[in-house]
Amino acid sequence: FDEGTLKRKRAKEAARSVLPNALGSDGMVTLNARAARHIIEIRSSPHADLSMREFAYEVYKVLKPWWPAVLADAEEVDTGDHVPAIRFSRSKV
C-alpha cells in the first residue's frame, strides 16, 4: 500500500473499533492444523486490520506449544510495529 491508502485504511479500522459491533464476546472455536496455519498466515499479514493481526498472533502464540510439529516451519517477520507477521515455509501440513 502507498502511505495515503494505508492512512485511509487505518482510519476506517479505527472507526470500526469504536462502533457497537466492535464489542468483544466469549466463544469457542475448533479447527484443524491446516485451518490454523491458514488463519495465522492470512490474518497476521501486514495488509490485515490491526485487531485481526493481534488476534492471529495470539492464536499462534497459544498453539505453538501445543502443536510444535505443525508450526515448526513458522517464521515471525518484523512488520515495523508491535505485531509480527507469521510466514510458513511449507504451504501445506
Which sequence positions are flagged as catalytic? 43
Backbone angles phi, psi at 12, to 5 degrees: -65, -40
**Buried-state track 45-54, b at ≥16 Cβ within 10 A, e below 16:** beebbbebbe
